[in-house]
Structure formats: structure tokens, C-alpha cells
């Protein structure tokens, strides 16, 4: 089923943390620079009583007049086989303050644009509120329902980043992930 594959992509989109190659010539979106850098840590998914540890490596940095994230997620499965996923997303400013839209494809005019959720792709956006960077991925399922993946990354006074992830399908929370990352660069 296409939605399941897309949902897995969107889940991995977020469970991994963030990354971007910063360019000194790029403009820095106000407020986002405090999240820039390379982050490494662990998280735990507690879904239906089964604990699944995850290693996360993420980078966040400037990209054009927005920012980009790149992250790698390694899920350690009980059977001993690890699952590795890697994702990158660029976000560009919208006309609304502190809200950034994903720029995951190029439109017919050569402009960066979001993917089309009506084609089964995730529609992603980001916002910043104080010490929290939130990234959302909305997927319209084949049956017309929805999945919403929410990634909340909150900076702590000690300089760490708390990660909370929620997967909601048609209003029901199906997965939560919580972890901590530390800045390594």
C-alpha cells in the first residue's frame, strides 16, 4: 500500500534528528540559528509496550533564506536486525512569521515547492516557538484519512535537545518516541 511506504518515510523523516550543511553566505532565519549544528543522541519508542531504542544523528543549518535538516535514524529491533534510514528536508519561509514550508521538489518554474499530499506524499512544514522547533508531516492515506507526524525539538538550559515524536492516525496516537541529543559541533 503506497500510504504505508509514505508513512514510513514520514516517520523516519522525523525520528531521525536534524541536519544541514550550512553556507556562510546564506541568510539565517531569525530564531533558527540556535538549533544549528550537529546533534547526536538516543531515543526510545514505547509502542504497545514494546521498547525500541534508536540512535539519532542530525544536522541543522542555513539553506538559502531558510534552513535544512538532515538526519540518520537507526532503529535497533528485538530480533537483532537494525533498520537505518536517512532523510533531508529544506524549509523556506512563508508569508507567515516563524512558519516554514518544505521545499522538497522543483516546480515547473524552477522554484522550490512542497510535495503534493493528494498524491500520497507528505506535506511538511516547520515552526519555531521559543526554545522549540516543531516539524510536521501530514500524509493523506489511500482511504482518505490522515496521518500526522509531529517532531518537537526543544533546547534545554543545559544545551541539550529534547526530542518528542508523535504519530497520529485519524486522531489516534499510535506511536510516541522520546529522546535526548547533544550538540557535537
Residue-level pLDDT at 158 = 94
Quick one: CATH architecture of 2-183? Beta Barrel (2.40)
- Residue 33 pLDDT more than 50? yes
Residue-level pLDDT at 132 = 94
- Residue 180 pLDDT more than 60? yes
Name residue 51's beta-bridge partners: 46
Residue-level pLDDT at 13 = 37
Q: What is the DSSP string of 34-73?
A: GG-EEEEEEEEEEETTEEEEEEEEEEEEEETTEEEEEEEE
Only one residue has cell 547526536, namely 40
- Residue 154 pLDDT more than 50? yes
Residue-level pLDDT at 173 = 92
The lowest-confidence range among 36-50, 106-120, 171-185 is: 106-120
Residue-level pLDDT at 151 = 95
126 vs 111, residue with greater confidence: 126
Kindly state the greatest CA–CA separation across the chain. Answer: 49
166 touches 142 (CB < 8 A): no
- Residue 9 pLDDT more than 50? no
User: 130 to each of 3, 9, 32, 39, 181, how far by Cα in Å?
Assistant: 33, 28, 10, 19, 18
Residue-level pLDDT at 122 = 87
Residue 65: which pLDDT band, with cuts at 50, 70 and 90?
confident
- Residue 37 pLDDT more than 90? yes
How confident is the model over 61-75, as a mean pLDDT?
Answer: 90
- Domain residue ranges of the chain, discontinuous segments joined by +: 2-183
Closest CA to 53 of 167, 163, 178: 178
Amino acid at each position: 500500500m503506497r500510504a504505508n511506504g509514505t508513512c514510513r518515510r514520514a516517520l523516519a523523516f522525523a525520528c531521525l534528528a536534524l541536519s544541514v550543511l550550512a553556507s556562510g553566505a546564506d541568510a539565517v532565519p531569525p530564531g533558527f540559528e540556535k538549533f544549528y549544528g550537529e546533534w547526536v543522541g538516543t531515543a526510545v519508542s514505547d509502542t504497545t509496550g514494546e521498547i525500541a531504542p534508536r540512535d539519532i544523528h542530525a544536522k541543522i543549518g542555513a539553506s538559502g533564506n531558510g534552513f535544512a535538516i538532515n538526519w540518520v535514524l537507526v532503529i535497533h529491533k528485538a530480533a537483532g536486525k537494525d533498520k537505518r534510514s536517512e532523510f533531508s528536508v529544506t524549509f523556506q519561509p512563508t508569508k507567515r512569521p516563524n512558519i516554514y514550508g518544505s521545499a522538497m521538489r522543483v516546480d515547473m518554474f524552477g522554484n522550490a515547492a512542497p510535495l503534493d499530499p493528494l498524491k500520497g506524499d507528505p506535506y511538511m512544514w516547520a515552526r519555531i516557538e521559543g526554545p522549540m522547533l516543531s516539524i510536521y508531516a501530514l500524509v493523506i492515506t489511500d482511504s482518505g484519512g490522515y496521518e500526522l507526524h509531529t517532531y518537537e525539538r526543544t533546547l534545554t538550559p543545559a544545551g541539550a535537545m529534547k526530542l518528542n515524536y508523535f504519530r497520529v492516525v485519524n486522531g489516534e496516537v499510535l506511536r510516541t518516541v522520546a529522546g535526548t541529543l547533544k550538540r557535537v559541533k
